[in-house]
């Protein structure tokens, strides 16, 4: 069996998408599902390739028990459209960028993270990079809520089939 592969995507892969990766990873581990999912994050632009998450993101996340320290920024590649089942995007601008980049042989389903939110009406997770700490906290609030909804979606749609054919790898 191959694990179900999810990649969270924002512009620079130092604020929103690593936050989503860290939050989702912990949700998955809490449910005992880490053998069934492969979780990553990337950015549409390579401004920060190889860098750790923004210290403000890491600090706010750590206060709520999320560890982002092992995450390193990388840029989305054409192969990500084949290697991942889901590309979960933080905003409509980066969604449009991915749509233009999408190769014809792509298999990944591309969705906005906020489609899965139960509490927020916004379609985009705002970029907190140029703002203060409250912006990073709001991003974390939004990501926590939408990530729970996304996991529930996967449990109802994809994970039952993945677990039936189990012998985890990847």
User: Could you list the active site residues?
Assistant: 10, 16, 127
Run of H or E residues at 58: helix 55-63
Q: Decide: helix, strand or coil at residue 10.
A: strand
The 8-class DSSP code of residue 103 comes to -
* Residue found under tokens 């809520």: 145
Neighbour-count burial for 34-50, b at 16+ CB within 10 Å, e otherwise: eebbbbbbbbbeeebee
Contacts of 95 (CB under 8 A, 6+ apart): 89, 110, 112
**Number of Cβ within a 10 Å radius of residue 65:** 9
């Amino acid at each position: 069996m191959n694990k179900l592969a999810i990649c969270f995507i924002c512009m620079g892969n130092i604020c929103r998408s690593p936050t989503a990766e860290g939050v989702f990873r912990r949700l998955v581990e809490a449910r005992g599902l880490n053998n069934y999912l492969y979780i990553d994050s990337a950015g549409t632009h390579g401004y920060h390739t190889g860098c750790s998450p923004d210290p403000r993101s890491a600090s706010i996340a750590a206060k709520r028990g999320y560890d982002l320290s092992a995450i390193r920024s990388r840029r989305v590649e054409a192969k990500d459209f084949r290697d991942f089942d889901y590309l979960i995007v933080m905003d409509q601008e980066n969604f449009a960028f991915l749509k233009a980049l999408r190769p014809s042989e792509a298999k990944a389903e591309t969705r906005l993270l906020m489609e899965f939110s139960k509490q927020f009406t916004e379609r985009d997770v705002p970029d907190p990079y140029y703002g203060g700490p409250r912006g990073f906290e709001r991003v974390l609030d939004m990501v926590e809520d939408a990530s729970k909804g996304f996991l529930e979606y996967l449990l109802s749609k994809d994970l039952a089939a993945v677990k039936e054919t189990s012998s985890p790898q990847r």
